[in-house]
Amino acid sequence: MTLRLRGQAAVDQLLELLDLRQIDAATFEGDSPQTGAQRVFGGQVAGQALVAAGRTVDPSRLVHSLHGYFVRPGDPTVPITFHTEHIRDGRSFSVRRSTAKQHGKTIFFMSASFQVPEEGLDHHTPAPEDVPAPEDVPTMLDWVEKYPDRMALFKAAPQAVDVRYVGVPGWVPPGDRGVQPQQRVWMRFDGKLPDDPLLHACALTYASDLSLLDAVLSTHGEVWGPGGVIGASLDHALWLHRPFRADEWFLYDSVSPSASGSRGLASGRMFTRDGRHIASAVQEGLLRRIGG
């Protein structure tokens, strides 16, 4: 088996996925990595949709929020076409709508707002205390080595993001995960990203879908897969508060305020190592129990 791409090689592959081909002034096209996955990763299509929207906006205007809906599973074997719509260009804000299509049908759509940087009121809640540093938290490889049956899947998929769970990952076997009131994960892109703020925003959009719904499961001590829960993202919202680099460590601190009707809601805050609150995310997912 070919060893997985990791580090800068994996980051470079992700940057290639985000470098959409421009078809015309409002249409772009992107691909998916060929990893054998049955559907496109939601964070990927959301990040690509933001690239398409951002390329139609003056670079001086920075994205500050996005709201998207996952409509259908994406097919990783064929390109995704992104159609952008100019909703408004005002003196301070620009709003775009980006729709992803495959096989003639919409699989995802997003609204995104961009703003000219301004000065104003500034405050945020403090970052969680007593959280171990990322260097003191097990790596994903450390976890996988405890569960050798996961090694093949781990090696098959590129690992552009260094993900380090402060608690227990959601993919361990049933019974190996206790109830946790929150899900805390250190993340960073495991290589150098260009300085373009739009790319860092797209990278953070990609990463924000990696562990958020884990917070719903951790509230119940549940896990993904046989004997646990199967799920899919329904919608996703992200607000970007302050400048950041996605290739530097940030803490993703997530909780689940509610779960009912086979749906779970999770919210997460992202903090830099020095405690700056850089972004907030909210996601609802479909969560259904499956047999062992």
- The residues assigned a catalytic role are 209, 233, 283
CB 225 within 8 A of CB 171: yes
138: Cβ contacts below 8 Å, ≥ 6 apart: 164, 165
3-state secondary structure 156-176: HCCECEEEEECCCCCCCCCCC
Rounded CA separation 164/122 (Å): 30
Structure-token match 């998929």, residue found:
157
Query: In 116-132, which positions are buried (b, 16+ CB within 10 angstroms) versus exposed (e)?
Result: eeeeeeeeeeebeeeee
Cα dist from 155 to 25, 26, 132, whole Å: 39, 37, 27
